[in-house]
Amino acid sequence: MTASDALELATDAPTIQPVRKGMWGGGPGDVSGFGGISRPIQYNSRATRPYGGWFDEVIDQVLGLVPDLPEEVSTDRGELTIYVPKDLILEVVRATRDDAALRFETCTSVCAVHYPDDLGAELHVVYALLSMTHNRRIRLEVVTSDEDPVVPSVGSVYPHTDWHEREIWDMFGVIFEGHSSLTRILMPDDWDGHPGRKDYPLGGITMKFKGAEVPPPDERRSY
């Protein structure tokens, strides 16, 4: 199989979801200047075998190591994402790190996205794994709800994700169970709310820095 054949197999058409207004959902609080944007929300659909290239080999190995893991995979633009139930994330990252055929030695980043319209799965946490041994990259994706925003910490497997998880807690409110010190890392300790969420108000918030008061963007000047 050629590289182009593998890429063609590993590309799925996205599923079209409802239309989103503005960069952050629009509304009177959107001071971004992008309030006129109107575009559909897109989620990648689940892929079917063959996934192409080395993807099938990796999925077979992961499923063999974690038998309870459902085979939910998306492939898009030559990239592989494995969808992991949150109660299995620790088992999966430990297996992908330690198994010689996988050897994803490092997690290069942990990030989150808030989808308020994805009822019951509003918070998505994404782990980018890198195998330096095999020169491969994959993503793991976990979802949880606004009502139960708890995901196990992967700090015991990848200690350097400590600050990634702190940032996600700070910006999105995801509670990483087992984290050694889950405190804010960007916002002040007494900050109310999580600014990365799409339901967080834009503008209208006065900020204070060491005694200096900075008015919110929509009150600084008139045009």
Q: Looking at residue 134, what DSSP letter applies?
A: T
- The helix/strand/coil state of 92 is helix
* Backbone dihedral angles phi then psi of residue 119, each to the nearest 5 degrees: -60, 130
> If DSSP codes are grouped into helix, strand and coil, which group holds residue 124?
strand
Which pairing describes strands 150-152 and 175-177: parallel, antiparallel, or unpaired? parallel
Name the phi and psi angles at 207, rounded to 5: -110, 145
**With contact defined as beta carbons under 8 Å apart, do 93 and 157 qualify?**
yes
**Is residue 181 classed exposed, middle or buried when 0-12, 13-18 and 19+ CB atoms within 10 A define those classes?**
exposed
In whole angstroms, give the CA distance from residue 215 to residue 78. Answer: 45
Domains of the chain: 44-219 (3.30.460.80)
pLDDT digits (tens, 9 = 90+) for 43-90: 778 999 999 999 999 999 999 999 999 999 999 988 999 999 999 999
Contact by Cβ (8 Å): 22, 35: yes
Give the separation between CA 196 and CA 20, rounded to whole angstroms. 17
Q: Give the bridge partners for 15, in sequence order.
A: 43
| Dihedral angle, C-alpha 181, 187, 188, 189, nearest 10 ° | -30
Give CA torsion, residues 55, 67, 141, 169, to 10 deg.
Answer: -150
What pLDDT, on the 0 to 100 scale, is given for residue 200? 87
Which of 165, 113, 180 minimizes the C-alpha distance to 144? 113
What does the alpha-carbon distance between residue 45 and residue 73 come to, in Å, rounded to a whole number? 9
Contact 115, 172 (CB under 8 A): no
Q: Which residue has the tokens 């197999």?
A: 9
Closest by CA to 131, choosing from 107, 164, 110, is 107
Task: Encode the chain (223 residues) as per-residue pLDDT tens digits.
Answer: 444 444 444 445 555 567 777 665 555 556 666 667 777 777 778 999 999 999 999 999 999 999 999 999 999 988 999 999 999 999 999 999 999 999 999 999 999 999 888 899 999 999 999 999 999 999 999 999 999 999 999 999 999 999 999 999 999 999 999 999 999 999 988 888 999 998 887 766 666 666 777 777 667 665 4
First to last CA, the chain: 59
